[in-house]
Amino acid sequence: MSVARVTEIKASSSESFDAAIREGLARACKTLKNVRSAWIDEQEVLLDEKQNITTYRVLMKITFILED
């Protein structure tokens, strides 16, 4: 039997939501072992004074299996 844990990670990118997701997953995999899945809980964008998108952010939940 395995036991899983879920943790939240917020990641950002100036390029796209996809890039923010990849950045967050890469960072999670550096710290956590046995990462198995992720799902996107929230997405948001930050705007500059001219209403141009400057930053894409995602809040994702990462599932990983705990070791014995």
Other Cβ atoms less than 10 A from the Cβ of 39: the count is 9
User: Which portions of the chain are predicted below pLDDT 50?
Assistant: none
Given the structure tokens 């072992």, which residue do they identify?
Answer: 33
Which CATH number does the domain housing residue 61 bear?
3.30.1660.10
Copy the structure tokens of residue 32. Answer: 């956590």
49-61 pLDDT per residue, tens? 999 999 999 999 9
**Are the CB atoms for 4 and 48 separated by under 8 Å?**
no
Structural domain span for residue 54 = 4-65
Find, among 17, 22, 11, the residue nearest to 53 by Cα. 17
CA distances from 18 to 2, 15, 51, 61, 65 (A): 30, 8, 21, 15, 24
**Domain count of the chain?**
1
- The model carries a pTM of 0.87
